[in-house]
Amino acid sequence: MDFLNAIVALANYVLIPGLAYGSQLALGALGVTLIYGILRFSNFAHGDTMAFGAMVTILVTWWFQSLGISIAPLPTALLAIPFGILATAALLLATDRVVYRFYRRVKAKPVVLVMASLGVMFIMNGIVRFVIGPDDQRFADGARFIIKARDFKAWTGLSEGLALRTSQVITIVTAVVVVAVLFWFLNRTRTGKSMRAFSDNEDLALLSGINPERVVMYTWLIVAALVTVAGVLYGLDKSFKPFTYFQLLLPIFASAIVGGLGNPLGAIAGGFVIAFSEVTVTYAWKKVLTYLLPADWAPDGLVQLLSTDYKFAVSFAILVVVLLIKPTGLFKGQAV
């Protein structure tokens, strides 16, 4: 019985949150990795683009809510996501036209593009704060739980409850669908194949008649979708605050680099590696250990390896180790 309780506690506090967070990071890292593969720079504006997509979605959600449109028990935000994607796509294409295209033409060093993305980050951050303000916004509605902790206890007779929030399930399901569609697109369609060709060898791709501007446009469109979905899912699961999206930049970069920059499969793996390390290291293991160990071995403290304030240190430490030992990442990305 204690063993079962330990498993349930582990699932409740580590497995499910880790899966949800990992899916969000994976979606974010996919965007970073695609931009890196095709446009060949690390996009520092990524976190704030997520915030922008989520913001538009939130505004549309509020509008739907005021009209009384809903798809209860699912959150209304799911209905608003397409509008968020459209707005983000428009913004990204406009940024590319105004900012990045010039540097591509003059074949600027990647670091100049990175710096330009820093400027874009500033502007997007300003827009988001200007429109919706710097504070926390709540926009989740519909059923909060699929399984409630109390129901679970009554149902199984265990003393440990398992709570499954709607947002967590939606996150995982959506991430699986989005990733499946993305890989189908990259591997099966003509445009997807040309994107991969361009990413693998730019010169050969140009030689075989692939239009680079078209490839770049599709990349931004896909990134807009990924970024908006990731931003909305994160907002549903936790809450929407512009500054936290900026802070997500570090774990997202870490995920992309751990998996190997430019490698989509690696980005997904990296997202889960980072998420689970973060959750396990900052989780207080007292409960699980108390169930598993004999009574007189039970720990006194919380058995928390690091306080949650240091969760970014975890992704950073992993990043440093990967850079030191295997800079191309677990799945052999393109960059050294």
Partner 1 sequence: MSVNWKNVSLFAIVAGLLVLVGVIQSANVALALLNIGLISAIMALGVNLQWGYAGLFNVGIMGFVALGGLATVLTSMPPVVEAWQAGGARVIAALLLGAGVIAAAVQAFKRLAGRVRTLAMLAILVGGFFAYRWLLDPAVAAIEAVSPASTGYLGGAGLPILIAWPVGALFAAGAAWAIGKTALGLRSDYLAIATLGIAEIIIAVLKNEDWLARGVKNVVGLPRPWPVPKEIDLQNSPSFVSRAEGWGLDPVTASSITVKLAYAGLFAAVLLVLIWMAERALNSPWGRMMRAIRDNEEAAEAMGKDVTGRHLQVFVIGAAICGLAGAMLTTLDGQFTPGTYQPLRFTFLIWVMVIVGGSGNNWGAVLGAFVIWFFWVEVEPIGNWLMGWLTAGMADDNPVKLHLLDSVAHMRLLTMGVILLLVLRFSPRGLIPEK
d(CA 189, CA 128): 35
Burial of 259 (0-12, 13-18, 19+ CB in 10 A): buried
d(CA 328, CA 330): 7
Residues of span 226-255 touching partner 1 by CB under 8 A: 246-247, 249-250, 253-254
In the complex with partner 1, which residue's Cβ is closer, 82 or 134? 134
Q: Which stretch binds partner 1 (CB under 8 A): 1-9, 22-30, 128-136, 142-150?
A: 128-136
- The answer to whether the peptide bond before residue 73 is cis (omega within 30 degrees of 0) is yes
Q: Residue from 203, 296, 300, 309 that binds partner 1 (CB under 8 A)?
A: 309
- Site for partner 1 contains 102 (CB under 8 A): yes
In the complex with partner 1, which residue's Cβ is closer, 115 or 149? 115
Q: Which stretch binds partner 1 (CB under 8 A): 193-201, 215-223, 263-271, 305-313?
A: 305-313
Tokens of 324: 């030191």
d(CA 34, CA 88): 16
- Site for partner 1 contains 305 (CB under 8 A): yes
- Site for partner 1 contains 293 (CB under 8 A): no
Residues of span 152-211 touching partner 1 by CB under 8 A: none
d(CA 259, CA 248): 17
Burial of 187 (0-12, 13-18, 19+ CB in 10 A): exposed
Give residues in contact with partner 1 (CB under 8 A). 41-42, 44, 99, 102, 109-112, 114-116, 118-123, 125-127, 129-130, 133-134, 246-247, 249-250, 253-254, 257, 301, 305, 307, 309-310, 312-313, 315-316, 319-320, 323-324, 327, 335-336
